Amino acid sequence: MGEVLTRAEIRRDQDVFAVRQLGRWIAELVGLESQDQIRVATALSEIGREALTRGAGSVVVFDLREDRLVITVDYPHGADVRQTEGVKLAGRMVDEIALSAEDGRVTLVKRVPGHHSRRTLDGIREELARRSPSTAALDVLREQNRELAATLEEVLRLNAELTETNQGVVALYNQLSAELEETNRGVVALYAELDEKSSQLRQAAEARQRFWASVSHELRLPLNSIIGLVRLLLGSGGDPLSEEQEHQITLVGTSAETLLALVGELLDLAKAESGRLDPHPSMVDVVALAEELRMTLQPTGPADGVTLSVDVSGEIGEMFVDEGMLTTILRNLLSNALKFTEYGEVRLAAVVDSAMAEVVFTVTDTGVGILPEHLERVFEEFYQVPGALQLRAKGTGLGLPYARRLAEALGGTLELASTPGEGTTATLRVPHRTAGPEVGRVLVADDDAGFRAVARRMLFGFAAAVDEAADGVEALELMRERPPEVVLIDLLMPRLDGTALLHRMAEDDALRGIPAVVVSVVSEQPGPLHPVLPKHGLRRDRLLEAIREAVRDSAGNVKGDGHGTRD
């Protein structure tokens, strides 16, 4: 139970104002803040008007219950209590409101701070008794005007603060705009510089290709002449030679052949570095290829020397791959293994990894092995592992680097694992394709050279040819020169970005029919007709399926509209 502070009746309009003023006094005396006092007075004003519309004689009771001020308004003669607009507004002014249709009662609850003792309650009653609530509407109106004036002053103060804040925001905006404009000028200048550097790099690459073509002719021609002359001198038709002369001429011939092999490896490696390794796949009998390598490289040492064995799983059968590249890789791996194995076995094995859709070739030997710190360095040009056996073995240090580049050109990988003193295992993984390409030419438009290399590997065997463009402008030039069957587009590219490239293609009668797949770090959808794949975590199966879908949709649109366009 609580303590009744006072009660009042509402019989006419003036009583509504009196109850409002009484409610504000009580709210002040129980310790509520100024804003809460106004809320309590407003709630009573609204409920008082609602009660008066249902007749005279409503009773208002103010009750203090521990930490709550409870105000009950009994409508006259149990009049109907409804959820009107006035009741809803009163409910927003207090903490709780309850309606009792049976009793015709509205209960308002407002929480008050602290605990009030008997002595405090008696003091509140005495203070209320000294105050005489004015029943004149004019007095209450004056009080409300004073409250409105105070509120207006607060609004003006807040408006001044807002104006000051806006001035600061405008100043900050102007500063950021100036900085952004300066940054944009820097970006434009950087793009211009990059464009110039790209042009210089292309010119340098063309000059490099011309240089290697010249070197290929100028070096190989005299070396072949030397080798031919040596064979004539050592042949049966030449003049008799002394043993020393024959020995020296043989050394000349051997040195020329070694130099010719070195020139060939250098030229092949230069071709790989310039990205001119274009696989030409065909159906290859892997069992026959492995057996041919065994017969060619079978060592002729003593019985307790080194044996070469091959073990190719029958599950592989024929695979769609560049036979020359695959043969070169395996020959390099087997030659290295035989070179650094004095006793034991060199074994070539091949199995199918169904989960990865790859053929896994392993070349295992029982040779000297490689220390961990040298495992990756052996793939550097001209690097040779130091050791006594290395001094006796002939080599240029170019075989493994070239083999890895060939593996990457085939869409595969080449890795080494070794235990010093026990042997080395080279693992070559190549996509397992048992049929020809599904699509023709594919263009990869992306400024990230690393991703272009990854895409080329993923497309190996699936696409008949793969072109690369470092930006949208270059992509347009390549598409007009060699129209692809499908194009992979990155959205973020210099000079002409992916979205602009798609718009240019749509406006060009010759290019609008080319289907596109967007592969980008940006999740933005450039249009409803283009599949979008994220670069992060991109899988080969998802990429190939997206290409198939784009090609199918493009073919469907061509048949559907009769014009071969994608609107």
pTM (predicted TM-score): 0.48
Q: Last residue of some domain: 431, 455, 490?
A: 431
Domain of 487, CATH number, reads: 3.40.50.2300
Asked whether residue 469 is domain-assigned, the answer is: yes
Q: Is residue 301 located within the same domain as residue 340?
A: yes
Q: Is residue 240 located within the same domain as residue 271?
A: yes
Asked whether residue 400 is domain-assigned, the answer is: yes
Q: Is residue 320 located within the same domain as residue 241?
A: no
Q: Is residue 58 located within the same domain as residue 19?
A: yes
Q: Is residue 294 located within the same domain as residue 325?
A: yes
Q: Is residue 288 located within the same domain as residue 415?
A: yes
Angle at 401 between CA 396 and CA 403, to 5 degrees: 105
Q: Which of 94, 103, 106, 87 is nearest to 69 (CA)?
A: 94
What local confidence, expressed as pLDDT, does residue 533 receive? 87
Per-residue pLDDT of the chain (567 residues; tens, 9 = 90+): 568 889 899 998 888 888 998 998 999 998 899 889 999 999 999 998 888 888 888 999 999 888 899 999 999 887 888 888 889 999 999 999 999 888 889 999 999 987 666 667 888 888 888 876 554 445 555 666 666 667 777 777 888 888 888 888 888 888 888 888 888 888 888 877 877 777 777 777 667 666 666 666 677 778 777 887 777 777 766 677 788 888 888 888 777 776 776 676 666 666 666 556 677 788 899 999 999 888 888 755 444 578 899 999 989 988 988 898 899 899 999 988 988 888 899 999 999 998 888 999 999 999 888 888 888 888 887 677 766 555 455 555 677 888 888 898 888 899 999 998 899 999 999 988 877 788 889 999 999 888 888 888 788 778 888 899 999 999 999 999 999 999 999 988 888 888 899 999 999 988 988 999 999 876 555 555 678 888 877 888 889 899 998 888 877 665 454 444 333
Q: Is residue 290 located within the same domain as residue 411?
A: yes
Asked whether residue 372 is domain-assigned, the answer is: yes
390 lies in which domain range? Answer: 282-431
Domain count, the chain: 4
Q: Last residue of some domain: 276, 299, 330?
A: 276
Q: Is residue 319 located within the same domain as residue 334?
A: yes
Asked whether residue 49 is domain-assigned, the answer is: yes
Q: What are the start-end ranges of the H helices in 30-136?
A: 34-52, 85-93, 118-130
Asked whether residue 412 is domain-assigned, the answer is: yes
Asked whether residue 288 is domain-assigned, the answer is: yes
What local confidence, expressed as pLDDT, does residue 5 receive? 87
Asked whether residue 153 is domain-assigned, the answer is: no
Q: Is residue 181 located within the same domain as residue 77?
A: no
417: which strand partners?
425
Q: Is residue 417 located within the same domain as residue 452?
A: no
64: which strand partners?
3, 69
Q: Is residue 79 located within the same domain as residue 174?
A: no
CB burial class (10 A; 0-12, 13-18, 19+) of residue 262?
A: middle
Asked whether residue 95 is domain-assigned, the answer is: yes
Q: Last residue of some domain: 243, 276, 309?
A: 276
CB burial class (10 A; 0-12, 13-18, 19+) of residue 303?
A: exposed
* Phi, psi of 138, deg, nearest 5: -65, -40
Q: Is residue 470 located within the same domain as residue 426?
A: no
Domain of 395, CATH number, reads: 3.30.565.10
What local confidence, expressed as pLDDT, does residue 116 receive? 63
